[in-house]
């Protein structure tokens, strides 16, 4: 899943693709590099971000989605708003990627149920301006048990809204209301989340927990010594390494999709992982390429 941020303030590339024509050209480059899905978003969800007006979000994403869908691409809309999801699907989106899992706008579940599109529900606790105040996972089993339990609650609500199991994909929500060590714990135990019975999407690309790991300072501290995180434009190699490890089975469960910024680099990592795990015959890589449901 190639990231297409049509925003002025995304943490990685905010403003670079705000112009629809530039965003469309960038998305076509991601397709040429091997993206299976293009994830078009008009709202930044970086920590501390403020929400755009509904009209602004629509103006950002709809021209891009329509053009890419006309190209025949599989397009995902990255939104928490029911009205944006509705109009995006009408414009040709085949996936709704909702970082709130239906909590921010429950009506989005009605849109998904009625249209039959694939729905990615992420683990989420609050909007960006306060999510990092909700990083306590003190119950037995820690962050892994809490995320599993809270995702299970979302699954129940999503089913109750009439969304079929075949439409649903789950996302552990790396970086959302989580500290760096929480993200690593979740990545090591993806099998616990997979036990819920749904495909998994993982979005780690260029996130702060990778920057913390690579912080300049005491290497033994893993970024925990208070050093500033590695700048966002210097985290790609770590993300590529993580993709290779996920493809090789890190976490004990297959991953349906990786959400990334540099598609070619991550595709290269998957090719290496596939060759490493091959016995000379064609064999599927644990990270699957292709589609889910209507996608």
Catalytic residue among 206, 259, 267, 292: 259
CB 181 within 8 A of CB 187: no
Q: What is the H or E stretch that residue 152 is in?
A: helix 142-160
Catalytic residue among 94, 207, 235, 267: 207
C-alpha–C-alpha distance, residues 227 and 284, integer Å? 40
Query: Is 280 in a helix, a strand, or coil?
Result: coil
- Residue 259 a catalytic site member: yes
C-alpha–C-alpha distance, residues 207 and 201, integer Å? 15
CA angle 54, 60, 63 (to 5 degrees): 120
CB 89 within 8 A of CB 108: no
Of 293, 247, 239, nearest in space to 74 by CA: 293
CB 270 within 8 A of CB 214: no
Of 30, 23, 33, 35, nearest in space to 291 by CA: 35
Provide the β-strand partners of residue 257: 201
| 107-115 and 82-91 helices, crossing angle to 10° | 20
Q: Residue 178 — φ and ψ, nearest 5°? A: -145, 145
| 142-160 and 180-188 helices, crossing angle to 10° | 70
CA 135 to mean position of chain CA atoms: 19
- Residue 178 a catalytic site member: no
Q: Which residues are catalytic?
A: 207, 259
């Amino acid at each position: 899943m190639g990231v297409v941020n049509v925003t002025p303030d995304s943490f990685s590339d905010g403003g670079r693709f705000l112009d629809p024509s530039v965003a469309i050209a960038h998305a076509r480059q991601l397709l040429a590099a091997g993206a299976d899905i293009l994830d078009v978003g008009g709202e930044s969800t970086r920590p501390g971000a403020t929400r755009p007006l509904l009209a602004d979000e629509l103006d950002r994403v709809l021209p891009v989605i329509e053009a890419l869908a006309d190209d025949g691409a599989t397009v995902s809309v990255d939104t928490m708003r029911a009205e944006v999801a509705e109009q995006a699907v009408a414009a040709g989106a085949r996936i709704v990627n909702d970082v709130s899992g239906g909590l921010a706008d429950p009506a989005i579940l009605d849109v998904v149920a009625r249209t039959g599109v694939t729905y990615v529900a992420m683990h989420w606790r609050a909007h960006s301006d306060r999510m990092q105040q909700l990083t306590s996972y003190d119950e037995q089993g820690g962050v892994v048990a809490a995320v599993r339990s809270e995702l299970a609650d979302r699954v129940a609500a999503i089913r109750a809204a009439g969304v079929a199991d075949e439409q649903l994909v789950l996302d552990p929500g790396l970086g959302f209301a989580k500290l760096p060590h929480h993200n690593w714990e979740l990545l090591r135990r993806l099998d616990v989340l997979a036990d819920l019975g749904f495909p998994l999407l993982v979005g780690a690309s260029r996130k702060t927990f990778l920057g913390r790991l690579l912080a300049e300072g005491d290497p033994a501290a893993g970024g925990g010594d208070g050093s500033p995180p590695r700048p966002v434009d210097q985290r790609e190699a770590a993300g590529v390494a993580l993709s290779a490890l996920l493809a090789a089975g890190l976490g004990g469960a297959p991953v349906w999709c990786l959400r990334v910024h540099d598609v070619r680099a991550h595709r290269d990592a998957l090719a290496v992982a596939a060759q490493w795990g091959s016995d000379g015959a064609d064999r599927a890589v644990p990270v699957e390429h292709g589609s889910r449901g209507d996608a």
